[in-house]
Amino acid sequence: MGREIKLMQGNQAISEAAIYAGARFYAGYPITPSSEIAEICSRVLPTIGGIFLQMEDEIASIAAVVGASLAGAKAFTATSGPGFSLMQENLGLAVMGEVPCVIVNVQRAGPSTGLATKPSQSDIMQLRWGRHGDQTVIALCPASVRECFELTVKAFNFAEKFRVPVILAPDEIVGHMRESFEVPRAGELEIIDRKKPSCPPDQYLPFEAEVDGIAPLAAYGGDHVFHITSSMHGPNGYANNNPQNASWRVEQLHRKIDLHRDEICLTKTFDTEDMDVLMVTIGATTRSGRAAALEARKRGVKVGVLQLLTLWPFPEKEVAALARDVDTVVVPEMNYSGQIAGEVQRVVGTEKEILRVNRYNGTIITPRDILESILESRSGQSVRAGG
């Protein structure tokens, strides 16, 4: 049976992929530009034995997702900037309690209420560092409707496998973009479910990691009774303030991600075999970047593109390997502060110059913006690109 070709919006692909991955619980609060995900879930989930809950705010939304996940659900929520900020404290709880869940943050332009309907890529640091305390999460960023589908399935798989909240962070352009693509058939993509405890119930320790760094997770209502707490806790899930225990816990939260970073760090490369200039892109900027790279090659500048599908943990090895032999690294991104560029700079070192192309007015970076910057930097003088 062939794949069905469907015209779909990014947010719709995310909703359909979540259900494909086994999500049966959604709790959320309406916010542009993510609301389509809630609307679709409200229509589909009740017909497949799932639950849709519209909560009183985003704090409650992520809380309900955590609760449902511990009752055994694959659970998720979707939001944007202001709502994502509100979710941070309970997202920290999900990290601490090692609760699998997926949060979609369709990035819009801030600060604050900002440009509520316009795209941006300015939550990169908040994805990683938005919560207080030492902790780590996984964050993914699609550039097309097809990638919205594929990365949503990945997000659930990572969440289930590593017992960690995973954030999918399309920018508004990708969330609202419509493209046709071949929808994966049922069973075509790998679906991972969380590890269940196999020990006798009275021996179950919900935070005792196995050799892969991850502890099995029971569900409330089963034979294995368990405690989850936002406070520092021992292997049995009960509060524990012992310094040695606290070190072990913080290390364990990081170690399970570090151990599997090669599996988690997803990237794509385009024309990087013979390049003089490396472009590092995320989300919708990948599309402008690739167009600019092709145009640059026509003008004799060999540009290759490294697209980061995983934002966190940052794909340091992949960036370092490709940046080693180029003379210029260019990073276009839809923010003022160069949040991706800063990470790239950290990886390549201060001696290599990063060409930053930033836009933060709620409009997309065009291929011409990037091309002009590259050509300017190559010639050392202003070059007018295009017609």
Partner 1 sequence: MTHATGTKYLKNGMLPHMWCSGCGIGILMGAMVRAFEELEYTNHETVVVTGIGCTGKLDDYLTTNALHVTHGRALPHATGVKAFNPRLKVVVIMGDGDSVTIGGNHLIHAARRNIDVTAIILNNFNYGMTGGQASGTTPEECITSTTSFGNPEREIDICALAEVAGANYVARQTPYHGWELKENIKEALNKKGFSLVEVVSPCPTHFGKNNEMLEAREMLLWLQEKSLPVEKYRKLGVGEKKDYFAVGTLVDRNAPDFNTRYEEIRKRALEL
Residue 324's Cα: distance from chain center in Å? 26
Distance between start and end Cα atoms, the chain:
46
* Contact mark string toward partner 1, 349..368, x via CB under 8 A: --------------------
In the complex with partner 1, the residue whose CB is nearer, 22 or 72, is 72
In the complex with partner 1, the residue whose CB is nearer, 119 or 165, is 165
- By CB under 8 A, the residues from 277 to 336 that bind partner 1 are none
- By CB under 8 A, the residues from 58 to 117 that bind partner 1 are 59-61, 63-73, 75, 89-90, 93
In whole angstroms, the minimum distance from the beta carbon of 138 to partner 1 comes to 21
56 touching partner 1, by CB under 8 A: yes
In the complex with partner 1, the residue whose CB is nearer, 55 or 294, is 55
Contact (CB, 8 A) for 119 and 170: no
Per DSSP, the three-state class of 270 is strand
Q: Applying CB under 8 A, what is the total number of residues that bind partner 1?
A: 45
Per DSSP, the three-state class of 115 is strand
In whole angstroms, the minimum distance from the beta carbon of 59 to partner 1 comes to 6
d(CA 360, CA 364): 9
Per DSSP, the three-state class of 131 is coil
Q: Is 208 exposed, middle or buried (0-12, 13-18, 19+ CB in 10 A)?
A: middle
In the complex with partner 1, the residue whose CB is nearer, 53 or 354, is 53
Token pair 């210029």 is found at 328
In whole angstroms, the minimum distance from the beta carbon of 71 to partner 1 comes to 4
In whole angstroms, the minimum distance from the beta carbon of 239 to partner 1 comes to 6
Structure tokens at 356: 């930053």
In whole angstroms, the minimum distance from the beta carbon of 88 to partner 1 comes to 10
* Chosen residue from 181, 226, 312, 314 binding partner 1 by CB under 8 A: 226
d(CA 28, CA 105): 12
d(CA 20, CA 120): 28
In whole angstroms, the minimum distance from the beta carbon of 47 to partner 1 comes to 5
d(CA 179, CA 319): 29
Give the β-pairing of 267-270 and 303-308. antiparallel
In the complex with partner 1, the residue whose CB is nearer, 45 or 293, is 45
246 touching partner 1, by CB under 8 A: no
Question: Footprint of partner 1 on this chain (CB under 8 A)?
Answer: 24-25, 27, 43, 46-47, 49, 51, 53, 55-57, 59-61, 63-73, 75, 89-90, 93, 219-223, 225-231, 237-239
